Structure formats: structure tokens, C-alpha cells
Chain A
Amino acid sequence: MIKVVVACGGGIFTTSVVTDRLEEIMRKNKIRHTITPHKITEIPSITGEDLIVVTGKTSATNDEGIPVMIGISLFTGVGEEEFTEEFLAKVKEIEEQKGQNG
């Protein structure tokens, strides 16, 4: 189970669209998941999640070290394939780490 956070500046439009795209990608790749919306300003304090995808500009990092990926390409379509590959690789890496930890 991969727990993904989607965060944007306003917490409305791009979050909805990117959530939809991520749902589709993970369904297609048979990845069990949850997706929770947040605001970019909340990034540092998010806990208990596996991966954060943001749709706006940020240099924020998470206090627990949850990886942050810029996923704006899922919104614009520019560079979408590259992002999808990177995203799936990251998910795989996280799943493997989780497997090792028990």
C-alpha cells in the first residue's frame, strides 16, 4: 500500500486533476494506494505518508523525509511520460523499502 499526498498552492484545481491522473496511473499498474489532498504550505508537517506530489513551485522538504516530487507535468501534459516513469520507479523503491522493514 502506497500512501500518496497531492499538494498544490490553492488546494483545489490542480490537486483534483493530478489526483485523477495518479489514480489512473496506479490503477493501471495495479498499485494499491491512498491519495490525500493537502496544501503546499503543509508539506513540512505531513506525517505517516509515503510520497508527496506537488503541482506548484516549492523548495519545501518534509520533516520526516518523505520524498517530494514536482508533478505539474500531469497537469500540463508536457513531460507527462517522463514523470510517470519517475513516479513508478519511486513507488517501486518505496515498496521495496517497506518490504525490507517488515
Chain B
Amino acid sequence: MEKMKMNKELLFIKKNFTTKEEVINNTCSIAERLGYVNENFKTDIIKREQEFPTGLDTAVPIAMPHVGTNCNTSFMSITTVEKPVNFKYMDGTEGELPVEIIFLFGIVHPEDQMEVLKKLTALFRDENRLNRIINAQTNEEGFETMKEFLGDFVEAS
């Protein structure tokens, strides 16, 4: 089974981004450099976010931009920001949702990734764990925390 890749270079902790576009551009350009996605992935993510936004008003608000197109390998990335950036609500609630954690990922074969997706869903429901990610001060700390949560289902490098 293909594991979801989680590369240290795709962990962005306590960044000073001010818009969701900055977050998406930053992550997608590194993912492209790593060969995880091609140049059209970013466009797909942005388009998806416009048509079907991914801001979730969970215990700790998050956003999870993701698509399965123009993506060579399934991967996970995490961005945390010093000041919240606005995303639109996934459920169509009017207005903007300020989020502090952005999980941006690509899933090539969702049926192969069910276990890690379940882990991820459990993480989204877990206020304590999400707070631990927000509170991580360094890439190292964020990486270890995510590895602990997602376990053997990711290929960490």
C-alpha cells in the first residue's frame, strides 16, 4: 500500500502568512519542487477552495484544502500561522472563518488511504491534539507531533 508522504520540508510552523493564497502558494511550490505534484495542482487547489471551500469550524478551526488531481503521490502538509488567516466555511455558512492550522494534502488513491484519513478525521475532532500542533514552536516539534498522531500510516522523511 502506498503511504502518504510527510516531508519535513512541508511543515511550516508559526508563519506570518496573511491570506489563504499565500499559504497555498507556499505549500504548493515546495510540493512541486519535491516532485509530489505538477504545476497545475495549485490551480486545482485554488479552484476547489473557491467552489467548495474547506474551512471547518471544529473545536479548533482548521482548513483542509485537498484534491486528487495533478498529484503524483499522496502527501500531507501542515501550516500553522502566527495570526489566523481567513478561509470560507465548508458548510456554506456566510462570512470568513479565521484558522490557525491548514492541512493541505493530495490523495491520489483515497481507497488506499482510508486508515490515515480516519486518523486525520480523529485528529480534526480532537481539541487537545490540535492545540498541541498550534502550540508547536519549531518544525521539529510539529513534525514529531504529527508523526505521533498519524503513526505508521505516513512515510515520514
Contact = CB atoms under 8 A, between A and B. Distances in A.
Interface stretch (B14-22, B116-124, B145-153): B116-124
Given A12-B68, A16-B110, A72 B48 contact: no
Contacts of B66: 10, 12-13
A99 interface: no
B58 A10 contact: no
Contacts of A20: 114, 118
Contacts of A55: 90
Interface in A65-101: 70, 72, 75-78
Interface residues of B, number: 27
A51 interface: no
Given A12-B66, A16-B117, A40-B52, A57 B107 contact: no
Interface string B57-76: 11100001011100000000
A70 B52 CA distance: 14
A99 B107 CA distance: 41
Nearest to A75: B121
* Majority SS at the chain A contact face: loop
B56 A76 contact: yes
A75 to B, nearest CB: 7
Contacts of A12: 66-68, 107, 110
Contacts of A70: 91-92
Given A10-B68, A72-B90, A17 B52 contact: no
Interface of B: 48, 51-54, 56-59, 64, 66-68, 88-92, 107, 110-111, 114, 117-118, 121, 124-125
25 contacts: A9-B52, A10-B67, A12-B66, A12-B68, A16-B110, A17-B117, A17-B121, A20-B118, A56-B52, A56-B90, A56-B91, A56-B92, A57-B53, A57-B89, A57-B90, A57-B92, A58-B92, A59-B92, A70-B91, A75-B121, A76-B56, A76-B57, A76-B58, A77-B58, A78-B59
